[in-house]
Amino acid sequence: MATLRINEIFFSLQGESRTVGLPTVFIRLTGCPLRCHYCDTEYAFYEGESLSFEQIIEQISHYQTRYITVTGGEPLAQANCIQLLTLLCDKGYEVSLETSGAIDVSLVDKRVSKVMDLKTPDSGEADKNLWSNLDYLTPNDQIKFVICSRDDYDWAKTMIDIHGLNQRCELLFSPIHGEIEPRDLADWIIEDQLAVRFQLQLHKYLWNDEPGR
């Protein structure tokens, strides 16, 4: 019987990406090979319990929403995540996957909306970016840059140009909470007329990053 190590399953509002504000079930998997300096889910590195796919489906069935986000940690660090994503799509859910971009996404079901976080230099993990993943992105996907500084912003602009990211999918720029003024990032985007979506992490403003919210 297929299982996954699950840190938590909870119901909340989507805090970012194109479905921001929509009631969503979050399935947070345990484990992550990265250690970004700003990580807000360190509790998911090791904590969790082994659940069968049947137990996972039973838990999410109690919530009245068709939106599911599989997150972490880094969910693709567990091989069975690929199978779970397909199962959720088969059951009619609108599924998104929050991934660091450090692990191969080529086998992810094409019905899944991949939200791939390209790591900026100030994250401390930019060397982990698996650039071949860009070849598997579709217009259904999104690339997220978490911006910690002006240097990060300039680096992200350069990556957009080098890799033609605007031609691949929607781009998200998010200021790291507590380290950069959101207005500064908004002003830079407007000044450069950059074709990206500015976003704030809604859940941090509503619930101050409480686990399970």
Domain range summary for the chain, segments of one domain joined by +: 3-207
pLDDT tens for 64-90 read 999 999 999 999 999 999 999 999 999
* CATH homologous superfamily for the domain 3-207: Aldolase class I (3.20.20.70)
Average pLDDT, the chain: 93
pLDDT tens for 176-211 read 977 899 999 999 999 999 999 999 877 666 666 665
The DSSP line for 50-81 is EEEHHHHHHHHTTS--SEEEEESS-GGGSTTH
Mean per-residue pLDDT for 87-102? Answer: 97
Going by pLDDT thresholds of 50, 70 and 90, the confidence category of residue 166 is very high
Question: Nearest 5°: phi and psi at 193?
Answer: 50, 50
Going by pLDDT thresholds of 50, 70 and 90, the confidence category of residue 52 is very high
> pTM, whole model, 2 decimals?
0.93
**Angstrom distances, CA of residue 118 to CA of 115, 167, 198:** 10, 16, 15
Going by pLDDT thresholds of 50, 70 and 90, the confidence category of residue 156 is very high
The share of the chain scoring above pLDDT 90, in percent, equals: 81
Query: Which parts of the chain fold into alpha helices (H)?
Result: 53-60, 81-90, 150-163, 182-192, 202-207
Residue 176: alpha-carbon gap to chain centroid: 14
- Given phi > 0 = left and psi -120 to 50 = alpha, else beta, which region is 21? left
Distance, in Å, from the CA atom of 103 to the CA atom of 101, rounded to the nearest integer, reads 6
The pLDDT of residue 204: 66
Going by pLDDT thresholds of 50, 70 and 90, the confidence category of residue 15 is confident
Distance, in Å, from the CA atom of 17 to the CA atom of 4, rounded to the nearest integer, reads 25
Residue 145 tokens read as 């840059």
